[in-house]
Chain A
């Protein structure tokens, strides 16, 4: 780099010539960059500086410095939102890693190849259903006349039946429970691919050494698919923090603000209460949190694997 720098001056004209020669290449990149400037760079900058304004998105605007952020951290709705986000994230990171891993191990250890294929297809089926349908189905499952309550009535526990998503104590756990038993197809497939990639000689050696069943899983499998596990943990973490689409459909943050999360609060402030500046500040805060996590991930977790962010 430094050598190149020192000879830049003499190369100036050659550089210009190269640029001229490559003009067709730049031309080919123009559509991509026009789109990015209009819909990514410019909006991103807007988002950051608008978070310093009190702004209704139209006529009223006033620079208030960090006022939005101050308000955010004293707003009980926002405090609950961040708490909910933290709880859901912790819950999801555990269950959406453990259960797909359990499923993948069970399938991987089946002896019949046909049965392996069969269960793999079964666990992938939910992936082909549009997310909105899955969410609306779960909303129905939790409803007063949904299968969960019907089951309780059949089991003689009718007094426990309730509208789960409308209950202050149960709404948040109900959100966490969506998708039970949480064999997330993407995570499941990543784990299964990792297990299949373990050389059979390693497994044979493990068998000879007497490492079978749970012992082999802990001593051999998990260390060998650690890369996949880290990847899935990081992706689940990032996705959990920015999840609000699901909560919008399931409860819209209610009852009260029992299931509110920051992303949804951003949406509501901006598009229902016309508080674009405050909404932007919430968005900026989420951005900073995610950026910090991405940095920690690249610094400490990600080694040989690249991220599908």
Chain B
């Protein structure tokens, strides 16, 4: 019994060390965001009082535009992906029609093309459409690419729904759209939320694509915005800079707070059982 408790203490010690190291950058981010230069220099490691809330005020004027843009981009992208991919996935999963297999493999094939190959030619296509430095130019290729994986997942889910439900609704006179919107979607709600979230997070974290497509300051999302933002501050203003980082993280944290459960069950079961 004694040996077992010693084991337990060892495990906890190891986990505490790992957890502390994992969280250290975040700890440092938060305490520094509340410091002025003097506090930063003299109290490097520990939190200090008074809290310099004015850092956040300064940072907000710098990053609020980027945050609004990112919220807009991530919301529009994930909504469009969910709508487009759920319709296509529904058609592939619940209907039989000539050419179904071929068309589905044409979609799956896109999964084989890595994003790195697409950077240059997608830029050229967006330029060809005259959409460089526009919101549409940023979003359309992201939606096009984002729907593929979602179709793949949703089709499996829709195909697994029992046919009797659809049959019963059909007898009651439901049309195609009602079958889709009132049976397929509600029954797959958790996976739909997961897909929306995966896309939201993916768009929020995209760095290279907006860097290539957007150059107007007022269109920049958080990622490329922060890269510029970093340059505007001198060595003496780490406080406001870090406050800006915190502000840029808040929307994503809020989204995770609401949907973490879906997200975790989605990536742990979804990634393995598809």
Contacts and interface: CB of A to CB of B under 8 A. Distances in A.
A15 B99 CA distance: 10
B222 A132 contact: yes
A137 B223 contact: no
A215 B211 CA distance: 50
A132 B118 contact: no
A99 to B, nearest CB: 8
Contact of B97 (A22, A115, A213): A22
Given A47-B117, A133-B226, A145-B235, A110 B8 contact: yes
A43 B124 contact: yes
Q: Is the interface of B mostly helix, strand, loop or mixed?
A: helix
B230 interface: yes
A102 B30 CA distance: 28
Contacts of A150: 44-45
B15 interface: yes
Interface stretch (A64-72, A158-166, A178-186, A216-224): A178-186
B150 to A, nearest CB: 10
Given A128-B253, A133-B29, A245-B207, 8 more contacts: A40-B144, A40-B148, A126-B23, A127-B256, A128-B249, A136-B245, A192-B268, A242-B116
A19 B88 CA distance: 17
Given A22-B98, A36-B144, A42 B125 contact: yes
Interface of A: 15, 18-19, 22, 24-26, 28-29, 31-33, 35-36, 38-44, 46-47, 50, 57, 103, 106-107, 109-111, 115, 119, 122-134, 136-138, 140-141, 145, 147, 150, 180-181, 183, 186, 189-190, 192-193, 213, 227-228, 231, 238, 242, 244-245, 248-249, 263, 266-267, 270-271, 276, 279-280, 283-284, 286-287, 290-291, 294, 305-306, 308-309
Given A44-B121, A132-B223, A249-B207, A123 B249 contact: no
A47 B223 contact: no
B72 interface: no
Contacts of A283: 116-120
B271 interface: yes
Nearest to B125: A43
Contacts of A140: 238
A158 B144 CA distance: 52
Contacts of A189: 264, 267-268
Contacts of A271: 123, 212
B107 A286 contact: no
Interface in B67-93: 84-85, 87-88, 91
A286 B116 contact: yes
Contacts of B165: none
B21 A32 contact: no
B145 interface: yes
Contacts of B147: 32, 35
A263 B118 CA distance: 11
Contacts of B141: 39
Given A130-B248, A130-B249, A106 B91 contact: no
Contacts of B118: 40, 43-44, 47, 283
Contacts of A42: 121, 125
Interface in B89-142: 91, 95, 97-99, 103, 106-107, 110-125, 129, 140-141
A192 to B, nearest CB: 8
Nearest to B44: A150
A248 B113 contact: no
B151 to A, nearest CB: 7
A126 B88 CA distance: 34
Contacts, number: 242
B114 A270 contact: no
A162 to B, nearest CB: 17
A18 B227 contact: no
Contact of B117 (A24, A190, A267, A286): A286
A35 B26 CA distance: 39
B1 interface: no
A26 B91 CA distance: 9
Contacts of B87: 28, 31-32
B120 A47 contact: yes
B11 interface: yes
B143 interface: yes
Contacts of A248: 207-208, 211
Interface in B203-226: 204-205, 207-208, 211-212, 222-223, 226
A46 B256 contact: no
Interface centre among A19, A133, A134, A180 (most CB of B within 10 A): A133
B22 A183 contact: yes
Interface string B235-251: 10010000001001100
A32 B124 contact: no
Contacts of A213: 7
A306 B274 contact: yes
A248 B124 CA distance: 21
Nearest 6 A/B pairs, CB to CB: A43-B121, A22-B97, A39-B144, A35-B144, A193-B268, A128-B256
B272 A32 contact: no
B14 interface: yes
Nearest to A16: B98
